[in-house]
Amino acid sequence: MKNRDFSRVKRLVVKVGSSSLAHATGKLNLYQFEQLAVQLADLHNQGKEILLVTSGAVGAGLGKLGLRRRPKTMPEKQAAAAVGQGVLMQMYEKFFAEYGVTVGQVLLSREDFSDRRRFLNARNTMYALLGMGVIPIINENDTVSIEEIRLGDNDTLSALVTGLVDAELLVLLSDIDGVYTADPRKDPAAVIISEIDEINEQVESLAGGAGSGLGTGGMTTKLQAAKIAMRSGAAMVIARAAEKNIIRRVVTGEPLGTVFCPGNKLDNKKHWIMYSSAVQGKISIDEGASRALVKNGKSLLPSGVVKVEGVFEMGNTVCISGPDGRQIARGITNYAAEELKKIMGKKTSEIAVVLGSKDYDEVIHRNNLVLDC
């Protein structure tokens, strides 16, 4: 990006990780909470719409319970999250109130994104809160969400929220400065990459494992978040949370961290298909169908389908793989798996003969299909 000045951004999402909210002892870092509050309150006073995605419920619960390490069993993690979420919100309420800002707790689960009606309801709720001048404090509902605790990080959640509300900027605050050319803990010659405009295999090879003992996310989850944000038409910045006034400095264009440039924006429905909806099955297609989808922007017809996997119904999201087995697209299918198995490889004119009736010519219409590129 020629200009990293985000001062004209109207709506932004800020994500802060567990390790940035706690000391090495596991106790909450009150200074960090205050710094977050004063910076976001100031941006709020400038007329910007702010959404804060916070990790730390499990970590806060550990401190309250006197534990030094994350528990290993799922019930213990969920219990720690149940205790810690209240502690977390108490801290945010306290510090934001000092600057006259009202905050509201929003707990989301993966189902709130994968179900279209719940997705739209969450979107409307966020807009209502922003319209009332409230800063939503968003977290994964760790107490009941097994999958999120297993994945262990809110990077993806923050990117999904960015798309949910059509934000222009996502700032990921972490205990790292950004993306490096190599692991700086092992290679003293490693340098930070200031700007990334495409996440290719070379960039993905730079991702390491999980970070600190309190947090469980690593660079892999951040790159996945960047993909989602970029296809939302948003820029994303990874920066170190401990840097003084880091959010203000990022927004005003200081060259800190790594910025991921906005990509080709998907419309809201297609973004939901690609990144939020639950994939129920898989359709494998031949070379001709792959070329028609990727090169010519066509719909998927039954003649190009060579294999159907999974159990899905009409209206479910499925992934589409090419001849080499790699996913090339996702889409909403017009036919259930059992129906598709009967008509795959056949011409459109044969559908009614095989099934007894025909509602659609296409297996997946191009308006309900998103290429994975």
Residues 167-219 have pLDDT tens digits of 999 999 988 889 888 877 788 888 899 999 988 888 888 775 434 433 334 78
Does residue 369 surpass a pLDDT of 70?
A: yes
Q: How confident is the model at residue 231 (pLDDT cuts 50, 70, 90)?
A: very high
Q: How confident is the model at residue 373 (pLDDT cuts 50, 70, 90)?
A: low
Residue 13 and residue 159: Cα distance in Å, rounded? 8
Annotated binding site for ATP: 15, 174-175, 216-222
Mean pLDDT of the chain: 89
Mean pLDDT of 108-128: 91
Which of residues 270, 295, 330 is at a domain's end? Answer: 270
Mean pLDDT of 67-76: 77
Q: For residue 229, what pLDDT is reported? A: 95
The domain spanning residue 265 has which CATH number? 3.40.1160.10
Q: What total of structural domains would you count in the chain? A: 2
Residue 188 lies in a domain: yes
Same domain? For 209 and 101 the reply is: yes
Same domain? For 284 and 243 the reply is: no
Same domain? For 194 and 311 the reply is: no
Whether 301 contacts 365, CB under 8 Å: no
Mean pLDDT of 31-42: 95
Same domain? For 220 and 295 the reply is: no
Same domain? For 253 and 299 the reply is: no
Annotated binding site for substrate: 55, 142, 154
Count of beta carbons in the 10 Å neighbourhood of residue 323: 14
Residues 49-61 have pLDDT tens digits of 999 999 888 778 8
Residue 371 and residue 136: Cα distance in Å, rounded? 32
Residues 301-338 have pLDDT tens digits of 999 999 999 999 999 999 999 999 999 999 999 999 99
- Give the whole-number percent of the chain exceeding pLDDT 90: 64
Residue 179 lies in a domain: yes
Q: For residue 211, what pLDDT is reported? A: 43
Identify the weakest region by mean pLDDT among 71-75, 96-100, 171-175, 291-295: 71-75
Q: Which amino acid is at 343?
A: I
Same domain? For 264 and 303 the reply is: no
The domain spanning residue 282 has which CATH number? 2.30.130.10
Same domain? For 77 and 206 the reply is: yes
Q: For residue 22, what pLDDT is reported? A: 81
Q: How confident is the model at residue 145 (pLDDT cuts 50, 70, 90)?
A: low
80 vs 39: which has the higher pLDDT: 39
Does residue 293 surpass a pLDDT of 70?
A: yes
Residue 311 lies in a domain: yes
Q: For 272, which DSSP code? A: I
Residue 165 and residue 126: Cα distance in Å, rounded? 7
48 vs 25: which has the higher pLDDT: 48
Q: For residue 114, what pLDDT is reported? A: 87
Same domain? For 320 and 223 the reply is: no
Q: Which domain holds residue 214?
A: 11-270
Task: Report residue 244 as tokens.
Answer: 């003084």
Residue 5 lies in a domain: no
Q: Which amino acid is at 110?
A: R
Residue 62 lies in a domain: yes
Distance separating the N- and C-terminal Cα atoms of the chain:
20
DSSP string, 191-239: -B--EES---HHHHTT--SB--SS---BHHHHHHHHHHHHTTT-EEEEE
Does residue 96 surpass a pLDDT of 90?
A: yes
Same domain? For 214 and 352 the reply is: no
Residue 121 and residue 130: Cα distance in Å, rounded? 14
Annotated binding site: 15, 55, 142, 154, 174-175, 216-222
Q: For 364, which DSSP code? A: B
CA nearest to 169, candidates 343, 8, 334: 8
